[in-house]
C-alpha cells in the first residue's frame, strides 16, 4: 500500500491524496472502521508536508469516506452497504446479473450488429470494407476557419442549449439547398438529426404500423434492414436492375397487400452503386401516389456525381404533397465525424418528429451544426466536391479497370460513388472467398448482409474510397486469383 | 416571371440560372412540355451572355428537367408523375395525410413535450424557467484552444467515422474521473452518449420490462418522467424529505410489488435541489441490493458543490456488482451545446448498449467528444468550476435571501445547484400565480410537471443561473407580491 501513489501535474496534491485514499477505501484495501495511517507517518511516507495530509483527510471526511474519533485519529467509513442480516444470503447476493434483464429489442440490436461480428482488419490488411470518405481529402484549414469564424460570432450561444428542430441558419441553408435540387419546399419543414441513421430511426418510430410491411430495394443498405427489423417491420424486397428497381416486380409486390412505407436509395444505391433513371423515378412515384404509400428517400451519396447526369431526387418528383420523406446527410461526402443529417418532409410529420427528437436526445450538437453551416456558408462545399469527385472518379476508374482485368465476376455494377458491387456464378460463396483473401491480407464486404431474402451469397461490395492506388491493384488481383481458384476447384 | 431572379455571390452564374429555372418547372410556373424562353431572349432579360444560358439549359437537361426538340428549342420535362388516369380521382388524391399515420408513441411524445406547450418568454421577460448554465461564464478562449490543439494533432481522424462506444481518450479520462469520485470501475465499462437524455433513453430501451414498474423520487426530473412514460413504464413516486427520499415510504413501496429499476437524482435533485445524505444513500443501497433492483443514478449537477460536503455517488456505495448504472453529463456544468454524456455500468450491459447506440445513431459526434476531452485534459475544468461555483453560489444566496424576504412560501428547498424549489399553502395554485406574474413580465416553472402523482399544484421551481442580480431582485419581488395577493383573495 502507498507505494503505487504517483503525483500528477495540475491537480492540488491534497486532492490527489484524497482520491488515492478514497480508492483504497472503496476497493476494500482499507477496510471499514480501520484506522487510516497517522498524518505524520503518511506525510513522511509520501514525502509531503503534514498539513497536506490533514487537508486530504478533512476532504475525505467531507465526502463521507472517513470519520474522526477524538484523540484516536481518522477511520475509514463503511462504504459498503450491509448486504443482508447474516449468513443466509446466497453466494451471489452481491451481484446483479444483467443477462436476463436485457430487452428483446436490445438483444436483437446486438445480434444484428455487424460491426461486432465484422471482420477486423489487422495492420497491413488491404480493406475494401469501408465506404467512408478518404480523410486525406479533408480540408482541415477550412474546417478550422469555419469553427473560429462561428465561435467569434456567437460562441456563447453555440455552447448553450439549442433547439430540437435544429440550428436555424443550417435549416435555412439546407432548405435552399434542397430547393436547388428541384424540391418544392413550400409546404415542407425540416428537422436536423445526428446523421442519416438517427433520422431514419426517428421516422420509423413515428410512422404508425398498420400493415407492418415495408417495401425496399433488394439488396439494400444493411443498416436500414437492421433498423426496419428492430422496429418490427416485415420487409419485402424488390429486385434491382441496372437502372433501378424492377418495376414489374414492384407492381407484383404492390398487389400482394398493403405497405406502410417504401424505403429507397435512388442515387448510387448501396450496395449496387446504380442510379435510378428519371423514367423509373417518375413511374415509381406515380405508383406510390396512386396507392398513397409514403416514400422514405435516402439521399445517400447524391452529391457524388462524377459521371452522367444528376437525376432529380424523388422528393422533387412527388406530386402527392407530403408523399416523400427525404433523409439527407453529408457523412459520405464531407465529414462523418460531425454527426449531422436532415429530414425534409410534410410539416405535420416534422412537427411530431421534433417532439420525438427532443424526447430522445434534446437536440443535435450545435457545434457540429454551426461548424457545418459556416463551412458551407464560406463556399467550401463546391470547392471540396470538385477535388473529391476528381479523386474518387480516378479511383473508381482504376478499380473498375482492375476488376475487369482480374476478377471473374459474372456481373458488376456501380455508376459512381465510393464502391462497386460484383456478382459471381451462383456456386461461388463470397464468404469462402473472403476467408481465402483474408489469408492473403485482403478483405471486403460479403454481399449477403444487404439482401432482404437471404440471397446474395455470391455477391460482394468493394469500397475503394480509402484504399491507395497500389493497394487497389494488389487487392483486386488477389481477389481475382482467389475467385478463379475457387471456381476451378468446384 | 424572371423578374425575381437575383444573383448570389460564389456560385457560378449558369448554375444559379439552372437552379432558378428548375424551381419554376418544379413549382409549376413553367408547365410540362412548354417551351423554355429562347436562349438569346433570356440572356437579354437577365443581362448575361447567351453562352451562360446555353450552359444552364444543358445542365437542366442533364438533371432531367428539360429536353431539346431539334430545331425548336428546349422544353420543360413533365416532372409531376401522372396522378391517375382521368377525372375519377378523389380531390385529395395528390395528398398523403400524415395525421392518421403517426404512431401512438410519437403522439405521446408530442403530448408530453413541455417545450411545445411551455410559456414563451417575450423580450424583456424575467425568466426563472431555465436551469442551463450562464453562458457569460464560458471560457471561449480555452474552448478554441482545445479545438485547435486536437485538430492539429489528429484532425483527419476526428472528422472521419468514430466508434459507437465513444472516443477512447475521453472514455479513459472519464473512467479515471469516476474512480476519483470513489467508484470501483474495475468490472465496469462506459458508453459515451449524446448527453444524459440519450443515455437514459438507451438504458430504458435496453432494460427488459418484467413488472413494468419503476420507482423514483416524487417529485422528479420531468424529462425522466416523460421518457419513463414513453417507454411504457408505470411510475411509483416516493415522497421527498429534506435529506432525500423518505425511506419508510420507500419500504412501503417496495412491499407493494416488484420493480424493474429505480431512478434517482441524489445530488442537487431536480426539482427540489436537495442532496441525499450519506446515511440514506447507504441504507437505500442496502435495500436495493437485498431485493436485486438495479439503480439508475442521474449524476445531475454533482459537480456544482459550493456548500456542504460532496457525498459519494451511489455508484461508489453499491456493494452489489452491476447494481448501479450511473449516467453523467457536463451539460449543466460546462457546455450543453456539446452533446456529450456517459453511461457507466456493468460490462455486459454496456456491451449491449453499444449495439443499441450504433443502431440508433452510429456514434456521438467525435468533434464534441474530442473537444471536451482536450478541454478537460488541458486542465480547464477545475479552473472553470472555481469561477462557476463562486458565481452560482452568489446568485443562490441572493435568490434565497430575496425569497425569504419577499415570498410567502410555506417551505423552500435547494442546497445548491442552479435552482430553488418552493411550496405554498395547498390552496395556492402556481399556474394561477404564473398567469399573474406573466402579466407583469416574470415567469417560472410550475412544479406540477415534476410530480408523478398529479400533485404539486402549489409548488414552483425557480432557476436563477441565467438571471441577472437586478432581475433576481425584481422578479422575486413580483412573485412575492402576486403570491400574497392570491393568498389574500382566497
pLDDT tens digits for B215-267? 999 999 999 999 999 999 999 999 999 999 999 999 999 999 999 999 999 98
Confidence of residue B90 (pLDDT cuts 50, 70, 90): very low
Cβ under 8 Å to A: B residues 195-214: 195, 197-198, 201, 205-210
How many percent of chain B have pLDDT more than 90?
71
Options 3.40.50.300, 1.10.287.130, 1.10.10.10, 1.20.1070.10; CATH of A13-76: 1.10.10.10
- Return the domain boundaries, chain A: 13-76, 119-136+382-489, 138-381
**Contact flag B94-A320 (C-beta cutoff 8 Å):** yes
Can you name the residues that pair with B298 across neighbouring β-strands?
B327
Options 3.90.1150.10, 3.10.20.30, 1.20.810.10, 3.20.10.10; CATH of B118-136+386-489: 3.90.1150.10
- Contacting residues of B for A208, CB less than 8 Å apart: 100-104
Query: Count of alpha carbons within 13 Å of B123, Cβ hemisphere only?
Result: 0
Q: What pLDDT does residue A311 have?
A: 78
Question: Domain B138-378, what architecture?
Answer: 3-Layer(aba) Sandwich (3.40)
* Cell, residue B220: 422528479
Given a cut of 60, whether residue B39 has pLDDT beyond it is yes
Please choose, from the candidates B350, B322, B385, B318, the residue with its C-alpha nearest in 3D space to the C-alpha of residue B182: B318
| Mutation to test the B interface, candidates A8, A91, A159, A225, most B Cβ within 10 Å | A159
Cβ under 8 Å to B: A residues 398-437: none
Extended beta strands in B51-135, E state? 66-69, 73-76, 126-127
| Mutation to test the B interface, candidates A362, A363, A371, A383, most B Cβ within 10 Å | A362
Q: What pLDDT does residue B82 have?
A: 53
Please state, in angstroms and rounded to a whole number, the distance separating the CA atoms of residues A368 and A244: 34
Inter-axis angle of helices A366-377 and A140-159, nearest 10: 130
Please state, in angstroms and rounded to a whole number, the distance separating the CA atoms of residues B254 and B242: 21
Q: How near does any CA of chain A get to the CA of B425, in Å? A: 33
The answer to whether B48 touches B17, Cβ cutoff 8 Å, is: yes
**Contact flag B367-A337 (C-beta cutoff 8 Å):** yes
Q: What pLDDT does residue B88 have?
A: 42
Q: Could you tell me the CA-to-CA distances from B59 to A304, A379, B53, B474 in Å, in that order?
A: 16, 20, 10, 62
Inter-axis angle of helices B278-291 and B247-256, nearest 10: 10
Interface residue B38 vs chain A (CB under 8 A): no
Q: How near does any CA of chain A get to the CA of B287, in Å? A: 8
Q: What pLDDT does residue B241 have?
A: 95
Please choose, from the candidates B318, B286, B265, the residue with its C-alpha nearest in 3D space to the C-alpha of residue B452: B265
Segment B364-373 shows an average pLDDT of 96
Please state, in angstroms and rounded to a whole number, the distance separating the CA atoms of residues A258 and A241: 24
Q: What pLDDT does residue B320 have?
A: 65
Interface residue A353 vs chain B (CB under 8 A): yes
CA A271 from centre of chain: 16
Please state, in angstroms and rounded to a whole number, the distance separating the CA atoms of residues B316 and B278: 11
The answer to whether A320 touches B95, Cβ cutoff 8 Å, is: yes
Given a cut of 70, whether residue B169 has pLDDT beyond it is yes
Interface residue A380 vs chain B (CB under 8 A): no
DSSP string for A193-249: ESHHHHHHHHHHHHB--SS-EEEEEES--HHHHHHHHHTT-EEEEEEEETTEE-HHH
Q: How near does any CA of chain A get to the CA of B385, in Å? A: 13
- Closest partner residue to A338 (CB to CB) among B81, B159, B379 is B159
Q: How near does any CA of chain B get to the CA of A477, in Å? A: 28
Domains B13-76 and B118-136+386-489 share a fold: no
- Write B80-83 long-range contacts (CB < 8 A, 24+): B80/A317, B80/A319, B80/B28, B80/B32, B81/A282, B81/A283, B81/A285, B81/A286, B81/A289, B81/A317, B81/A318, B81/A319, B82/A286, B83/A286, B83/A289, B83/A290, B83/A319, B83/A320
Interface residue A304 vs chain B (CB under 8 A): no
* Spatial CB neighbours of A421, under 8 Å, sequence gap ≥ 6: A271, A272, A273, A412, A413, A414, A447, A459, A460, A461, A462
**Contact flag A201-B359 (C-beta cutoff 8 Å):** yes
DSSP state of A457: T
Interface residue B338 vs chain A (CB under 8 A): yes
CA A62 from centre of chain: 43
Q: What pLDDT does residue B3 have?
A: 77
- Closest partner residue to A83 (CB to CB) among B195, B319, B348 is B319
CA B282 from centre of chain: 31
Given a cut of 50, whether residue B304 has pLDDT beyond it is yes
CA B102 from centre of chain: 22
Q: Answer left, alpha or beta for residue A416, where phi above 0 means left and psi between -120 and 50 means alpha.
A: left
**Contact flag A278-B77 (C-beta cutoff 8 Å):** yes
The answer to whether B273 touches B415, Cβ cutoff 8 Å, is: yes
Please state, in angstroms and rounded to a whole number, the distance separating the CA atoms of residues B450 and B273: 13
Q: How near does any CA of chain B get to the CA of A379, in Å? A: 7
Please state, in angstroms and rounded to a whole number, the distance separating the CA atoms of residues B197 and A367: 18
Confidence of residue B306 (pLDDT cuts 50, 70, 90): low
Report the SS3 class of residue A293.
coil
**Contact flag B201-A352 (C-beta cutoff 8 Å):** no
H or E element, residue A444 = none
Fold (topology level) of A138-381: 3.40.640
Tens digit of pLDDT at every position of chain A (490 positions): 777 888 877 778 898 898 888 888 877 788 888 999 999 999 999 889 999 999 999 988 887 788 899 888 999 987 776 544 443 444 445 678 898 999 999 999 999 998 887 777 788 999 999 999 999 999 999 999 999 999 999 999 999 999 999 999 999 999 999 988 888 898 899 999 999 999 999 999 999 999 999 999 999 999 999 999 999 999 999 999 999 999 999 999 999 999 999 999 998 899 999 999 888 998 999 999 999 999 999 998 777 776 555 678 999 887 667 799 999 998 888 999 999 999 999 999 999 999 999 999 999 999 999 999 999 999 999 889 889 999 999 999 999 999 999 999 999 999 888 999 999 999 999 999 999 999 999 999 999 999 999 999 999 999 999 999 999 999 999 999 999 999 998 7
**Contact flag B367-A371 (C-beta cutoff 8 Å):** yes
Interface residue B294 vs chain A (CB under 8 A): yes
Fold (topology level) of A119-136+382-489: 3.90.1150
Q: Could you tell me the CA-to-CA distances from A275 to A306, A333, B191, B379, B413 in Å, in that order?
A: 12, 17, 38, 51, 63
* Cell, residue A168: 436555424
Task: Determine the residue of chain A that is closest to B294 in CA distance.
Answer: A96
Please choose, from the candidates A450, A176, A181, A170, the residue with its C-alpha nearest in 3D space to the C-alpha of residue A314: A181
Q: What is the pLDDT of chain B when averaged over all its residues? A: 91
* Cell, residue A191: 428537422
The answer to whether B490 touches B415, Cβ cutoff 8 Å, is: no
Query: Count of alpha carbons within 13 Å of A266, Cβ hemisphere only?
Result: 26
Report the SS3 class of residue A116.
helix
* Spatial CB neighbours of A22, under 8 Å, sequence gap ≥ 6: A60, A63, A65, B180, B182, B312
How many percent of chain B have pLDDT more than 70?
95
CA B268 from centre of chain: 19
* Spatial CB neighbours of A127, under 8 Å, sequence gap ≥ 6: A121, A442, A443, A444, A466, A467
What dihedral angle (degrees, nearest 10) is formed by the CA atoms of B353, B356, B360, B366? 40
Whether the CA torsion A434, A436, A438, A442 is positive or negative: it is negative
Interface residue B153 vs chain A (CB under 8 A): no
DSSP state of A33: T
Confidence of residue B312 (pLDDT cuts 50, 70, 90): confident
Is B62 buried (19+), middle (13-18) or exposed (0-12) by CB count in 10 A?
middle
- Contacting residues of B for A226, CB less than 8 Å apart: 359
Report, in angstroms and rounded to the nearest whole number, the Rg of chain B calculated over CA atoms.
29
CB neighbourhood size of B436 (10 A): 17
Size of chain A, expressed as the number of residues it contains: 490
* Cell, residue B297: 443514478
**Contact flag A335-B364 (C-beta cutoff 8 Å):** no
Report, in angstroms and rounded to the nearest whole number, the Rg of chain A calculated over CA atoms.
29
Could you give the ipTM of this predicted complex? 0.91
Amino acid at each position: 500500500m502507498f507505494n503505487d501513489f504517483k503525483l500528477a501535474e495540475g491537480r492540488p496534491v491534497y486532492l490527489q491524496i484524497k482520491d488515492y485514499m478514497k480508492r483504497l477505501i472503496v476497493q476494500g484495501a482499507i477496510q471499514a472502521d480501520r484506522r487510516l495511517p497517522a498524518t505524520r507517518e503518511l506525510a513522511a511516507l509520501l514525502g509531503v508536508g503534514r498539513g497536506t495530509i490533514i487537508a486530504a483527510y478533512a476532504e475525505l471526511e467531507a465526502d463521507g469516506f472517513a470519520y474522526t474519533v477524538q484523540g484516536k485519529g481518522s477511520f475509514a467509513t463503511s462504504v459498503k452497504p450491509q448486504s443482508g442480516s447474516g449468513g443466509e444470503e446466497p453466494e451471489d447476493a452481491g451481484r446483479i446479473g444483467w443477462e436476463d434483464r436485457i430487452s428483446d429489442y436490445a438483444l436483437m440490436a446486438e445480434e444484428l450488429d455487424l460491426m461486432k461480428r465484422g471482420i477486423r482488419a489487422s495492420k497491413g490488411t488491404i480493406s475494401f470494407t469501408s465506404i467512408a470518405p478518404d480523410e486525406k481529402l479533408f480540408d482541415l484549414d477550412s474546417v478550422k476557419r469555419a469553427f473560429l469564424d462561428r465561435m467569434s460570432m456567437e460562441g456563447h450561444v453555440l455552447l448553450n442549449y439549442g433547439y430540437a428542430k435544429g440550428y436555424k441558419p443550417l435549416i435555412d441553408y439546407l432548405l435552399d439547398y434542397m430547393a436547388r435540387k428541384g424540391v418544392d419546399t413550400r409546404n415542407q419543414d425540416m428537422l436536423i438529426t445526428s446523421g442519416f441513421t438517427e433520422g431514419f430511426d426517428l421516422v420509423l418510430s413515428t410512422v404508425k404500423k398498420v400493415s407492418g410491411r415495408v417495401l425496399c430495394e433488394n439488396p439494400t443498405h444493411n443498416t436500414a434492414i437492421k433498423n426496419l427489423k428492430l422496429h418490427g417491420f416485415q420487409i419485402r424486397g424488390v429486385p434491382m436492375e441496372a437502372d433501378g428497381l424492377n418495376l414489374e416486380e414492384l407492381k407484383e409486390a404492390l398487389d400482394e397487400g398493403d405497405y406502410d412505407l417504401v424505403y429507397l436509395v435512388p442515387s448510387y444505391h448501396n450496395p449496387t452503386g446504380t442510379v435510378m433513371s428519371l423514367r423509373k423515378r417518375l413511374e415509381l412515384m406515380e405508383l406510390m401516389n396512386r396507392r398513397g404509400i409514403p416514400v422514405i428517400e435516402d439521399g445517400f451519396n447524391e452529391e457524388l456525381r462524377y459521371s452522367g447526369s444528376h437525376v432529380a431526387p424523388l422528393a422533387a418528383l412527388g406530386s402527392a404533397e407530403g408523399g416523400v420523406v427525404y433523409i439527407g446527410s453529408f457523412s459520405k461526402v464531407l465529414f462523418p465525424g460531425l454527426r449531422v443529417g436532415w429530414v425534409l418532409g410534410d410539416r405535420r410529420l416534422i412537427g411530431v418528429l421534433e417532439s420525438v427528437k427532443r424526447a430522445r436526445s434534446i437536440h443535435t450538437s450545435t457545434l457540429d451544426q454551426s461548424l457545418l453551416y459556416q463551412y458551407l456558408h464560406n463556399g467550401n462545399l463546391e470547392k471540396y466536391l470538385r477535388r473529391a469527385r476528381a479523386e474518387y472518379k480516378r479511383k473508381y476508374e482504376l478499380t473498375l479497370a482492375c476488376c475487369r482485368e482480374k476478377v471473374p465476376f459474372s456481373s458488376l455494377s456501380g455508376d459512381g460513388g465510393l464502391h462497386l458491387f460484383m456478382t459471381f456464378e451462383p456456386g461461388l460463396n463470397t464468404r469462402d472467398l473472403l476467408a481465402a483473401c483474408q489469408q492473403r491480407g485482403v478483405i471486403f464486404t460479403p454481399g449477403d448482409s444487404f439482401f432482404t431474402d437471404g440471397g446474395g451469397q455470391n455477391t460482394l461490395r468493394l469500397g475503394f474510397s480509402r484504399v491507395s492506388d497500389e493497394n487497389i491493384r494488389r487487392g483486386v488481383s488477389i481477389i481475382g486469383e482467389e475467385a478463379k481458384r475457387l471456381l476451378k476447384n468446384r
